[in-house]
Structure 1
Amino acid sequence: MHLRPGHAEASIPVLQRLIRENPLGILTTAIKSPTYPFLQSSHIPFLIDLPDNPSDENPGTLRGHIAKQNPQAKALIDALTTIQSEKGDAEALELPDEVLVLFNGPHHHYVTPKFYTETKPATGKVVPTWNYSAVQAYGKVKVYCDSKSDITSGFLQKQIEDLSQHAETGIMGYASPWKVADAPDNYVQLLKKNIIGIEIQIERLQGKFKMSQEMGKGDREGVIEGFEKLGTATGEGIAKTVRERSE
């Protein structure tokens, strides 16, 4: 990600908030395997757990889960099995290579040069672009895949309960949320055997809001007005964010 100074967001709490409000991340791994592609990506909803004192050096931990039938999950399992065999440590969970999770903000849109109402009529030196916001998290991944292990079972149970609670209350806004306990326990236990858990200790958290900050005041106002006139939820969201970032 190109972190142009005018677009880069240095505030860790702002980046953490974007993740909490937009939890569907894209997990990308690079794992050498004779069976599966080297580069793989999957869309996975994540939870972010914060330490007592978050900092640039310790911005939090991501938790998620993947279906075992996902080729990326199979590559992760194979890599962990190899690590455990090489170390002679059946309890080892962490892989040595870094992974990347990308989160996108709620609104993105093409920006037409027609919105630049100051520069376009004055010089014509304008080109189209795309406004968006995103956060990227880097770190080492722990893989919980032993369905017979109490550690894996406990991790997955907490993961699915916490994720459901967050989505039902924080995203859906339900006062009486659906809970995992509402489903039959034997059904939940069966489903748990078909997923693996992943936990990523974030080592670097970076992000940007590319929302016309590089443009002059007149052009920014033109962008806000242009998006508001679209009459769409995305247009309203972009206009609101451009205004906020401009301020």
Structure 2
Amino acid sequence: MFIQSAHEEKDTSALLQFIRENALGMLVTGIDSSLDFLQCTHVPFVVDLPGEAEESSPRGRLRAHIAKQNPQVKGMIEALENKPNVLELEQDVLVVFNGKHDHYVTPKYYVETKPDSGKVVPTWNYSAVQVYGKLSLYYDSKTTEAGNFIMQQMKDLSQHLETSVMGYTGGERPQPWKVGDAPEKYIELMQQNIVGIEIRVDKIQGKHKMSQEMRPGDREGNAISFLVKERGVLHDEKRQKY
């Protein structure tokens, strides 16, 4: 990821919180197998902060589950076939998370700079976080370790998304859906058809490209000006400190 200093977010806790608020990630792998070398799957993730779980890395970990029939999973399993006791992929994986708001920025938005000098060009404002790390695959739900991991992952993901995304606050259905609401045999069948994904975070980086380096008048003309204003204020505060 190319990151200009004005756009960079260095706070790890803020980056992990960004993932919690934007759970859908793109899992990217490069694996030598009989399938395509590069594979990508869109999947929602659970974030474990550093110290929240015994298995968590010093920088945290991500958890997810995807279908066994997914070609990306088939490539992983193929890569592990000769190593039955090793669940960890040798290659690093990449997960990309995008913010909820992005927008094309026309030079016409720059109401301060454009009339003054005309030295403006189009761009695209967005926010994103990238995570690099080692992936462990829990692919046999009949084993105790994989079965426990997958069940806990399903429960944690449902709880997180039901409460943070759906935002149950009362009314006729005040309680979020939980895994236990589905028939036990049905859940067992679901478990047999998915694999658990665990990624221990080795590196995390992110950016908020929101025209914060532009003049105040240019920020106000932007189509997503509320985010542009927020990042602009933070940018200005940092400049004043130094």
TM-score normalized with structure 2 length? 0.90
Aligned twin of 2:14: 14
Q: Is residue 242 of structure 1 aligned with residue 228 of structure 2?
A: yes
Distance 1:222 1:45 in 2: 34
Query: What 5-or-longer segments of structure 1 have no aligned partner?
Result: 85-89, 228-237
Amino acid corresponding to residue 132 of structure 1 in structure 2 = Y
| CA drift at 1:61 | 0.3
Tell me, what secondary structure is at the counterpart of 1:161? helix
Aligned twin of 1:234: none
Residue correspondences, number: 225
Residue 215 to residue 206, structure 1, CA distance change in 2 (3 Å): same
Q: Is residue 170 of structure 1 aligned with residue 196 of structure 2?
A: no
Percent sequence identity over matched residues?
55
| CA drift at 1:58 | 2.4
Distance 2:58 2:228 in 1: 29
| CA drift at 1:198 | 0.6
Runs of 4+ in 1 over 4 A off after TM superposition: none
Offset from partner CA, 1:49-80 (integer Å, 9 cap, x none): 012389xx822100001101110011111112
8 Å Cα contact 1:61/1:200 also seen in 2: yes
Aligned twin of 1:232: none
Distance 1:100 1:93 in 2: 17
Q: Is residue 108 of structure 1 aligned with residue 102 of structure 2?
A: yes
TM-score normalized with structure 1 length? 0.88
Distance 1:198 1:168 in 2: 20
Q: How does 1:1-247 map to 2 (within 5 A)?
A: 1-33=1-33, 35-52=34-51, 58-82=58-82, 84=83, 90-174=84-168, 175-223=174-222, 227=223, 238-247=224-233
Superposition CA RMSD, Å: 1.5
Distance 2:98 2:175 in 1: 28
Distance 2:52 2:80 in 1: 31
Tell me, what secondary structure is at the counterpart of 2:73? helix
8 Å Cα contact 1:30/1:39 also seen in 2: yes
Distance 1:51 1:17 in 2: 12
8 Å Cα contact 2:141/2:150 also seen in 1: no
Tell me, what secondary structure is at the counterpart of 1:97? coil
Amino acid corresponding to residue 8 of structure 1 in structure 2 = E
Offset from partner CA, 1:20-74 (integer Å, 9 cap, x none): 01100000000011x21000101010000012389xx822100001101110011
Tell me, what secondary structure is at the counterpart of 1:207? strand
8 Å Cα contact 1:8/1:209 also seen in 2: yes
| CA drift at 1:147 | 3.1
8 Å Cα contact 1:80/1:143 also seen in 2: no
Amino acid corresponding to residue 154 of structure 2 in structure 1 = I
Amino acid corresponding to residue 183 of structure 2 in structure 1 = P
